[in-house]
Amino acid sequence: MGLLENKARARLFYKYLSRVYDRVNPFIWNEEMRAEALSLLSFPEDATVLDVGCGTGFGTAGLLEHVDHVYALDQSPHQLEKAYAKFGKQGPVSFHLGDAERLPFASNTFDVVWSSGSIEYWPRPVRTLREFRRVLVPGGQVLVVGPNNPNNTVVRKLANAIMLFYDAEEADRMFDAAGFEDVDHTLMGPSYDPDIAITTVGRAPE
């Protein structure tokens, strides 16, 4: 388990990263990647959507291009403060400070659960994915964007010492263990590293 796959350390990390997050993030996770990821989803009319690990709201803003309202959750109060400044505390986003492993929502609530740039910090990814499946309606979609495993062995070991990096085979294992169906993966990234991220979509059983 990597150094930042710990809730307390991740919160402390984002206490400081939140100050520069919106300036750093476009070099790793940009609008073109977000649009590509969004194109992998289908949004029913009046879809109910949850953004887990919403951070400062970059993914949330993309989701709002497809739906009128988004529920958004993050464990970092510092990241949420940045998101409040963008969207307000009352408006198109209902914000929640909380834990992805224990989502404060009823079962069978959401048509879509989206999570970008969060899985790498989850201590128990399968447990969290099971929570996603719990809150999804039957047939609902999940989309998770995470860091793709580096090809270089030395870099891979260093990366995994910090946080979770994984490949399509590992993603298949996690999503299958969580009970998802129709799982598929897309590699994406900025021009300097087009395979930096792995985006996985799946569907809750009907």
Confirm whether 25 is domain-assigned. Answer: yes
Whether the predicted pLDDT of 175 surpasses 80: yes
Confirm whether 2 is domain-assigned. Answer: no
Confirm whether 1 is domain-assigned. Answer: no
Q: What is the mean pLDDT of the chain?
A: 92
Confirm whether 163 is domain-assigned. Answer: yes
Whether the predicted pLDDT of 90 surpasses 90: no
**Domain of 108?**
7-203
What's the pTM? 0.93
Question: For 107-163, how does the pLDDT look when each residue is reduced to its tens digit (9 = 90+)?
Answer: 999 999 999 999 999 999 999 999 999 999 999 999 999 999 987 776 767 667 778
Confirm whether 165 is domain-assigned. Answer: yes
Q: Which carries the bigger pLDDT value, residue 14 or residue 159?
A: 14
Give the number of domains in the chain.
1
> Which CATH number characterizes residue 107's domain?
3.40.50.150
Residue 21 — pLDDT band, cuts 50, 70, 90? Answer: confident
Mean per-residue pLDDT for 155-178? 88
Whether the predicted pLDDT of 7 surpasses 80: no
pLDDT score at 154: 66
pLDDT score at 16: 63
Distance of CA 22 to the CA centre of its chain: 16
Mean per-residue pLDDT for 36-59? 97
Q: Which stretch of 17-21, 134-138, 161-165, 189-193 has the lowest confidence by average pLDDT?
A: 17-21
Whether the predicted pLDDT of 41 surpasses 90: yes
Distance separating alpha carbons of residues 126 and 101, to the nearest angstrom = 9
What is the rounded end-to-end Cα distance, in angstroms, of the chain?
Answer: 33
Distance separating alpha carbons of residues 54 and 26, to the nearest angstrom = 15
- Beta carbons within 10 angstroms of residue 11's beta carbon: 16
Confirm whether 70 is domain-assigned. Answer: yes
Whether the predicted pLDDT of 44 surpasses 90: yes
Confirm whether 13 is domain-assigned. Answer: yes
Confirm whether 31 is domain-assigned. Answer: yes
**Helix/strand number for the chain, H first, E second:** 8, 7
pLDDT score at 4: 66
